[in-house]
């Protein structure tokens, strides 16, 4: 059962909150080839998006995980806030990256403990596809748009990606579990309702991944 306070499968949440799970997630990015490729591509896209945005005062990175993107994001702002639902991830991140112009908070991206327009940019990577219902995925987006003053950079799993279309076949034929997807036009509509416009939406990879990285700016 998933809800606002436990929005992904309990076993996944427990894994991210455990020392073993958090360190394994970090190690995957150091050891596994597909993780290294996607990390490289995400960094290239993030740098390109920030080339468009320019330097900002503040960025909220939620969920930050173990701080995979912390150093990159720190290059583009004066103050970086790193947040995650998992205490263990936040602790590991702080231990590795320190507190110079960086703040840490244990928080849910579905109920961000910040006022409207509190930071210049909100970045939210690799959470949407873990959220178990469309309502939670849409709520996540609305929270990001609420807290950002200028821009939101967010990933979601696209319903129209090749990877998802193939999965839909396997759902029908082999009874596989469906992916936690969003339709791109629905993401744009939610952005529009919040006063944002989509600037860019690049697939992580056209083949082999359904993730899209979107950049939205306040109109
Ligand atoms: C796949 S990791 C992504 C971490 C980081 N953004 C990255 O790309 O490396 C997913 C993270 O989401 C965190 N998480 C799960 N539910 C959350 C929630 N409701 N709010 C904030 N973080 C959450 C987990 O603890 C985990 O660190």
Ligand 1 center–CA 196 separation, angstroms: 24
96-117: average pLDDT = 97
Helix axes 10-17, 19-31, angle to 10 degrees: 80
Atom 1 (ligand 1): residue with closest C-alpha?
126
Residue pair 129/181 in contact (Cβ under 8 Å)? The answer is: yes
190-211: average pLDDT = 95
Ligand 1 center–CA 169 separation, angstroms: 28
**What is the fold of 10-218?**
Rossmann fold (3.40.50)
121-136: average pLDDT = 97
Identify the pLDDT of residue 11. Answer: 83
Scored b (16 or more CB within 10 A) or e, 81-97 reads bbbbbbebbbbbbbeeb
Residue 143 has pLDDT above 60, yes or no: yes
Whole-prediction pTM = 0.94
Identify the pLDDT of residue 30. Answer: 87
Torsional sign, CA 129, 91, 21, 32: positive
List residues bridging with 197 in a β-sheet. 217
Per domain, the residue ranges of the chain are 10-218
Ligand 1 center–CA 127 separation, angstroms: 5
DSSP string, 52-114: HH--EEEEEESS-TTTTTHHHHHTTEEEEEEEES-HHHHHHHHHHH-STTEEEEE--TTS-SS
Ligand 1 center–CA 66 separation, angstroms: 9
* Cα–Cα distance, 206 to 21 (Å, whole number): 29
> Residue 92 half-sphere exposure, CB side, CA atoms within 13 Å?
23
Q: Which residues line ligand 1 (CB under 6 A)?
A: 7-8, 16, 62-65, 68, 84-86, 89, 108-110, 125-127
Ligand 1 center–CA 167 separation, angstroms: 23
Per-residue pLDDT of 10-25, as tens digits, reads 888 888 888 889 898 8
Burial of residue 109 (number of CB atoms within 10 Å: 0-12, 13-18, 19+) = buried
Ligand 1 center–CA 111 separation, angstroms: 14
Per-residue pLDDT of 19-76, as tens digits, reads 889 898 888 888 899 899 999 999 999 999 999 999 999 999 999 999 999 999 999 9
Best of 84, 94, 126, 140 for a ligand 1 pocket test (most atoms within 8 Å of beta carbon): 84
Best of 7, 82, 85 for a ligand 1 pocket test (most atoms within 8 Å of beta carbon): 85
Identify the pLDDT of residue 119. Answer: 98
* Cα–Cα distance, 60 to 79 (Å, whole number): 9
Identify the pLDDT of residue 1. Answer: 35
Identify the pLDDT of residue 3. Answer: 58
* Cα–Cα distance, 195 to 213 (Å, whole number): 19
- Distance of CA 1 to CAs 7, 8, 18, 112, 208, Å? 8, 9, 20, 22, 29
Residue pair 136/108 in contact (Cβ under 8 Å)? The answer is: no
Identify the pLDDT of residue 170. Answer: 96
Best of 17, 39, 63 for a ligand 1 pocket test (most atoms within 8 Å of beta carbon): 63
Identify the pLDDT of residue 6. Answer: 66
2-13: average pLDDT = 71
**Pair of tokens at residue 34:** 């597909």
Residue 2 has pLDDT above 80, yes or no: no
């Amino acid at each position: 059962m998933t809800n606002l306070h436990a929005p992904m499968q309990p076993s996944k949440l427990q894994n991210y909150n455990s020392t073993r799970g958090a360190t394994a997630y970090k190690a995957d990015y150091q050891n596994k080839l597909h993780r290294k490729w996607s990390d490289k591509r995400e960094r290239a896209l993030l740098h390109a998006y920030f080339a468009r945005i320019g330097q900002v005062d503040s960025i909220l990175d939620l969920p930050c995980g173990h701080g995979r993107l912390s150093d990159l994001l720190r290059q583009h702002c004066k103050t970086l806030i790193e947040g995650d639902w998992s205490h263990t991830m936040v602790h590991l991140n702080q231990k590795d990256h320190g507190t110079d112009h960086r703040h840490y908070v244990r928080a849910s991206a579905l109920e961000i403990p910040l006022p409207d327009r509190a930071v210049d940019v909100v970045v939210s990577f690799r959470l949407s596809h873990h959220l178990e219902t469309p309502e939670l995925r849409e709520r996540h987006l609305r929270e990001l748009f609420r807290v950002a003053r200028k821009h939101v950079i967010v990933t979601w799993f696209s319903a129209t990606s090749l990877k998802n279309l193939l999965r839909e076949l396997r759902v029908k034929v082999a009874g596989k579990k469906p992916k936690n997807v969003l339709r791109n036009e629905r993401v744009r509509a939610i952005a529009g309702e919040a006063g944002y416009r989509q600037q860019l939406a690049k697939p992580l990879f056209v083949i082999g991944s359904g993730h899209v990285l979107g950049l939205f700016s306040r109109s």
